[in-house]
Amino acid sequence: MYLGPPIDDPEILASLSSELTHLLRRANGYVAYNGGLHVRGACHDPKWHSLRSAWLGPAALHRLFPVLSSSDIPFGEDALGHQFIIRDGVVHRLDAEVGELESLAVDLADFDAAARSDPVEYLRLQPLERFRAEGGSLEPGQLLSVYPPYVFQESASNVSLRAIPASDRIAFLAHLAASIRDLPDGARVSMPPLPPSAV
């Protein structure tokens, strides 16, 4: 669906595992499965595709989500903006709605194999499948806005799905996760506002 531009940030490759470096030398990141998986590239632009921006930039993911550290490598994300992180050679999934990190207990090669084998189930792409069935599509640089967020009980009845810029979605998720971090299960809260681009 989208292949990243030629590598123009070779310096960052020196900080990556041989596995990830080899992947990025073959294809400098990509968007696959109709927007269901975005693997970032060793490039400065576009910003939404830049591994350096997501890892080391002013809006780096570890600055937005306290559960992450600066040594975690945010190599990819799913259609909803949940992040895939390499920590000590193991792929983890950041549930960006709540800011919690879960080990997937696989390395990058096994993660790739599992995603290829059954992307909808492994990457949890059912919302994207519904969005596409309703005539929607994700362009490169967009993520799927889900409102109300799945963490809210109200989402069980129905959710609105929209394609919005990736930066807006990630900012919204970081704000949401920070807002509910210390709340007990079942707490009553006001619904956070939609990102401006989703209105």
Instruction: Count Cβ atoms within 10 A of the Cβ of residue 135 and give its class: 0-12 exposed, 13-18 middle, 19 or more buried.
Output: exposed
**pLDDT at residue number 181:** 74
CB 123 within 8 A of CB 33: yes
Helix axes 108-117, 18-26, angle to 10 degrees: 50
Q: Which of 97, 115, 98 is nearest to 106 (CA)?
A: 115
Q: What is the pLDDT of residue 156?
A: 63
Beta carbons of 54 and 62 less than 8 angstroms apart: no
Query: How confident is the model over 77-136, as pLDDT tens digits?
Result: 999 999 999 999 999 999 999 999 999 999 999 999 999 999 999 999 999 999 999 999
Domain count, the chain: 1
- State how far the Cα of 88 lies from the Cα of 62, in Å rounded to an integer: 16
What is the extent of the structural domain holding 35?
2-198
134-168 pLDDT, tens per residue?
Answer: 999 999 999 999 988 877 666 566 789 999 999 99
Write down the pLDDT at residue 199.
40
DSSP 3-state assignment of 14?
A: coil
Range scoring the smallest mean pLDDT among 33-37, 67-71, 109-113, 183-187? 183-187
Which contiguous run of DSSP H or E holds residue 164? Answer: strand 160-165
> In the Cβ-directed half-sphere of 107, how many Cα atoms lie within 13 Å?
8
pLDDT for residue 1: 80
CA distances from 45 to 5, 51, 76, 112, 174 (A): 8, 10, 16, 24, 22
Distance separating alpha carbons of residues 51 and 39, to the nearest angstrom: 9
Token output for 33: 């499965």
pLDDT value at position 159?
Answer: 85
Tell me if the pTM is above 0.85. Answer: yes
Do 54 and 29 form a contact (C-beta atoms < 8 A)? Answer: no
pLDDT in tens, 164-198: 999 999 999 999 999 877 655 655 666 555 555 54
Question: How many percent of the chain have pLDDT more than 70?
Answer: 88
